[in-house]
Structure 1
Amino acid sequence: MPPNLSGYYRFISQKNLEDYLQALNIHVVLQKIALLLKPDKEIEHLGDHLTVRTLSTFRNYVLEFQVGTEFEEDLRIVDGRKCKTIVTWEEEQLVCVQKGEVPNRGWRHWLEGENLYLELTARDAVCEQVFRKVK
């Protein structure tokens, strides 16, 4: 049975964000801004329906989806693209595959204790972010 990810999570750390942003061909000015941000995550998890809010002082991003159902994701706020997205459970990890212009694009979320991990991939770049549950 997958874990319930509901909660509010405060940013703790990240590794390799710059490589990930370069793999997405994000403009260098936006890369510099993104590297300064410490986004929080708010997740509502009700059965197979999830809403994931990434919250920062620069820009917020809301992703709402049904696990196992492919949908068109509008990532223009992130990198100017759209893609076909599907999110599934692989044991206790929530795994997202984003099909579009950028190969090997996606992410996975999982819990370890009070920490929420996010692994972002694009091309051969891998970024890991860690968040701590606060409520």
Structure 2
Amino acid sequence: MAERKRRGDRGYSTLEVTVVLPVVLLMVMALVQAALYLLASDLAQTAANKGSLAGASWQSSPDVGVERASTWAGTQRLLRGTSVSSEGSNADSVRITVTGEALTLVPGWTLTIRETAEQPVEALP
């Protein structure tokens, strides 16, 4: 009788693997995609910070900040199609905005990232 029960379970492990494995792989891909997005977002924020610091330094200009952020962001492989602007900057502060796309695992899917950093302009007291 025990042998009869074992025969009925034959192939059940294969069925479990074919159902569970795709779900596990999708979960792993989702985790990797989330990590890529967060890393690209951090890179964009770093570029914006570097640009705002460069643009706000003594006798500098927002254009210097844009150039610094563009140069730094251009060296990062996980952040693609970057554009940098100093829109919103004024005489008292420099605002640098970095926009780009995160690397994705799904072809044709784009994840846009937009990060902004603002610094007060250095001045003599």
* Greater relative contact order (Cα < 8 A, sep 6+): 1
- If the length of structure 1 is used for normalisation, what is the TM-score? 0.33
Whose helix proportion is higher, 1 or 2? 2
TM-score, normalization by structure 2: 0.35
